[in-house]
Structure formats: structure tokens, C-alpha cells
Structure 1
């Protein structure tokens, strides 16, 4: 099974490295200095779960040059997703699947539009990781989990077989991996937390440890999640139990210095994924007539940085 990592940053670089070191047939797509470093020196992963150095690996600057893949882990940022997906036609055959691991709730819809339903699988990653310097991925903490599953528009036998086979490869690579029978539910569960985590750590420029021990900031964090939870229910997502209670336990156990990738993007003057997070919540709030004042506060505080340094 050939695996293509489209976007070899914190998410793609981490999971791609784990798969590659386990013996899986993995190719990477990277850009700029990161590409040149990987092509010359290999890819290095620094993690409390174990450091990895892959001295020789297949890496490309464009997915067009990577050839046909059985599984494409699509890990580019949301603002690149649609444009990058058009080039994936060079990597697909009839049974190839594309699993998006972006932040947000819109990846599958975008990919179905550009690639057609029969290649798209739903997915999400739980991890805190980043490119610390070209060719090097830093993993923060011990959380590193993949969840994927078929979407309602694509439940073919070949897709089901492919995700089962891919799961086995991930488990062989010691990646915590689960196939969900309701991937939309899992994506929304993460979205509820992620909107708050990304928005609040970026707006305040503080790690989760400082936020959770400050009553005002902690309350603000949970009010943001409550707004997203209400939107999710209006959207038609049905929860067996309130996900906020589960997130509270997880948040209290997170490493003190956890920050969202959007905070790193702000710090480095890059584009922000705000349009697919708090701004998306505000837009859905207007659509469903739900008030979202806390998410609107995040939007107003960060909107001047959406396209990078203002």
C-alpha cells in the first residue's frame, strides 16, 4: 500500500515518519526549506514517545511528481486545501482514497467538490506538533491519535477495504488509530474543543496551562465551546452525552505549555485558519439564529491577522 503525505508539517510529518520507520511505503510532499532539508538530510521526529530519524526518504515539491498512491493523507492547511486537491488527480486511480486531516468541518465537502465523492474519506488527528526547523518535527506531549471513517457519500466496498488496510499499517507503526462508524460526529466533537483552543490560546497568546488556572479565561474558553456545541446541535449532530464534560477532563490533563497551531501561525506572521474556526461558527450562528458573542470576540480580535502580519 503506497501512502502519500500531502503537507509534511506537524501532522503529516509526524504520522508519515511513524509509518515510514515501521516499513510502510511512504512518500512526502513538502515545500521550500523543509523540502530541501528532508531531501538532503532526511526527516527527524523529536517526541517523548520516541525520536525517529529517517535518513533516506522519498520527498517531492509537487504531488504531481509523486505518482499513484493508495492512500493520500491530506495534511495541508485549510487555505491551501482546494488548490492543492486539484493536483491530486495525478495521484489517484479508481480505488485511491484521500483522508483529510485539517482543522475544521469543511474538508470533506471541499474534497468531494474537487475530486468526486468516491475518493473521499473523513478524518481527524489529535496531536500537538510543529516544524521546529526545516526537516525537524517536534511533538508536544503524548497525544497522537488518528480517527477516520467513511462519509455518507462514499461507502463503497473498496473504500471500506482500504481504510481497514490502512488502519492495520497505522497500528503496526504504533499509532493510536480508530475507525469511526460516525465520522461526522467525531469531527464535530473535535471542532467544539478546537475552536476554543485555537481561538483562546491565539487571542490571549497564552498556553492552556495559564488559561485553565485563570477563572475568567477558563470561563471564556468554556463559553466558546458552549456556542459551538449549540451550533452542532442545530446542524443536526446528535450526541449521546455532552462532549464538554469529556473535554473538561482532557483539558485539565493537558501539558501546561500546550498551544494551538494557529498561535504558532500568528507568532510567525502566517495566515490564520480563523475563517474555518471561530468565523465559521459566527457564520453558522447567523444561519441558525444562534448568538455567538464569544466567538465573535475572537474574530474581532484576530481578523486583521487572517492573511498574515497586518
Structure 2
């Protein structure tokens, strides 16, 4: 199975590197600047689950440099989606299925409309990982999960092959037949967690100390629960309770990637997450006041 990782950020390098460690054929497709950094510094994973150095990684900067591919792990920030579409279309024309692991939910429909439903597999990840100044991955905590699954019946075979490859790849994988359900559950959690931590500019531990602030996160979970129902996905009260327990169990200094980006003065995924929820809610005439308020609080920081 020939895998192309489009976007050699922390997530792409981590899972791509673990596949390589298990013997898979993986190519990293990156921009020229990132390619130069990889050539100079190499690719390494520093992880609570074991370190790994990727020896002589195969790096390209254009789809024209490969003849064919079976799968693309698409792992970029939501605001880079439009800029990556031409490369995704080119890779799909070479036989590749697209496995997007972006935050959010709107990108699934966008990719299906632009590339074709038959090419887009459902995917998501749970992982705390960043790139350091050398471009190496620093992964922390227990979570290093990659979920994937068919959104069309024709994708079952490729998902089974990916499940076989991932079984011994050193991370937790799941081939799910209910990927839209899984996507909505993650969207619910990350929209609330990223929203509250970024809006108040505080880690989860401090937020937990203030019931009024934690209440905002819970109400955002409830709003996305109702929104999911409007789009045919059932998020149960048990799922919401589990999300709250997850937030309660996190390390006090834990926070969202979007909050980290705010601290660094970087471009934020607020339009892709909270903005997407508001757009989806407007389309079905659902009121989401907590999500809309948090969107308004973060929006001034969107571009750093």
C-alpha cells in the first residue's frame, strides 16, 4: 500500500512515521520550505510511546513526482483546505483515496463535492503533538488514536488494508463503520474545548476551577449535540457526559491546539470550528447562542 502524507505537520509525521516503522511505503508531500528543513534536520518522533527517527524519508513537493498512490493522509489546518485541493485532485487521479484528518466537519462535504464521494474516506485522530523548532514531532500523553472508515461501500476494501497495516504500527487504530457518528462526537468535544480555552486564554485546569466557565463548555457540547441531530447523527447524553468526564480528567495544564496557536500569535481555526458550527446551525434554523458568543470572542484573534 503506497501512502502519501500531505502536510508533514506533527500529526502527519507521527502517523506516517509509525507506518514507516511498521514497514509501510510512505511519502511525505510538503512545501519547498518544509522539504529543505527535512533535508537539513531529518524527521524524528519524540513520544511517550517510544522515540523513532525516520531514516532517509521520501519527500516530494509535487504530485507529478509520483506515478501512483493508494491513500493520502491529509493532515493540515482547516484554513489550508482550499489551497490543497488541486494536489488532492491530482493524487486522486493517480488512484488514491483521501483520508482527511482535519478538525471540523464541513470539510467532508467540500472534499466530496470537489473530488468525488467515492474517493473520500472518513477519518479523525486524537493526539497531543506539536513540531519543535527543528521540525521534529513532540508527542505527549496517552492518546495517539487514528480512526478511519468507509463513507461509501466501495471503500471497505481499502479501509481493511489500512487496518491491517495499522495493526502493528505502534498507535491505536480503529476501522469504524460509523465514521460520521465518530466525526460529530469529536467535533462536539473539540469545538467546546478549543472554544472555551481560546476565548478565556486559559488551560483546562483553571477553567475547571470556575463552574461558570466550565458551564459554557458544557452548553457548547449540548448545542453541538442538537446540531448533530439535525444532520442525522445521534450524540447521546452518555456521549456528552463522557466528553465532560474527559475534560475533567485532562492534565490541569492541558489545552487545545487552537489556544496554543493563540498564545503564539498564529492563524486560528476558529472559522473552521466555531464558525462552521454557526453556519451549519443557520442552515437548519437552530439557535446556538453559546457557540456564537465564543466565536465572537475569538474572532479578533483569528489572524494572529
TM-score range, shorter chain: over 0.9
In structure 2, the CA distance between the partners of 1:55 and 1:95, relative to structure 1 (3 Å rule), is closer
Displacement, 1:150?
1.2
Alpha carbons 1:6, 1:63 under 8 Å: kept: no
Paired with 2:194 and 2:251, the residues of 1 have a C-alpha distance of 15
Superposed, which structure 2 residues align to 1:250-289 within 5 Å?
250-289=246-285
Alpha carbons 2:92, 2:115 under 8 Å: kept: no
Q: Could you tell me which residue of structure 1 aligns to residue 8 of structure 2?
A: 8
Q: Which moved more, 1:248-257 or 1:200-209?
A: 248-257
Superposed, which structure 2 residues align to 1:131-210 within 5 Å?
131-151=131-151, 154-156=152-154, 159-210=155-206
Q: Could you tell me which residue of structure 2 aligns to residue 98 of structure 1?
A: 98
Displacement, 1:4?
0.6
Displacement, 1:231?
1.1
Paired with 1:67 and 1:8, the residues of 2 have a C-alpha distance of 20
Q: Could you tell me which residue of structure 2 aligns to residue 222 of structure 1?
A: 218
Displacement, 1:199?
0.8
Q: Could you tell me which residue of structure 2 aligns to residue 19 of structure 1?
A: 19
Displacement, 1:166?
0.8
SS in 2 for 1:174: coil
Alpha carbons 1:209, 1:258 under 8 Å: kept: yes
Alpha carbons 2:29, 2:61 under 8 Å: kept: yes
Q: Does 2:209 correspond to 1:213?
A: yes
Q: Does 2:215 correspond to 1:245?
A: no
Q: Could you tell me which residue of structure 2 aligns to residue 295 of structure 1?
A: 291
Number of residues of Structure 1 aligned to a counterpart in Structure 2: 304
SS in 2 for 1:256: coil
Paired with 2:61 and 2:237, the residues of 1 have a C-alpha distance of 44
Length-normalised TM-score, structure 1: 0.91
SS in 2 for 1:172: coil
Alpha carbons 1:140, 1:258 under 8 Å: kept: no
Q: Does 2:33 correspond to 1:42?
A: no
Gaps of 5+ in 2: none
Q: Does 2:230 correspond to 1:234?
A: yes
In structure 2, the CA distance between the partners of 1:284 and 1:106, relative to structure 1 (3 Å rule), is closer
- Cα RMSD over matched residues? 1.9
Q: Which moved more, 1:58-67 or 1:230-239?
A: 58-67
Paired with 1:196 and 1:66, the residues of 2 have a C-alpha distance of 40
Gaps of 5+ in 1: none
SS in 2 for 1:133: coil
Displacement, 1:32?
5.5
Q: Could you tell me which residue of structure 2 aligns to residue 56 of structure 1?
A: 56
Paired with 1:244 and 1:29, the residues of 2 have a C-alpha distance of 37
Displacement, 1:3?
0.7
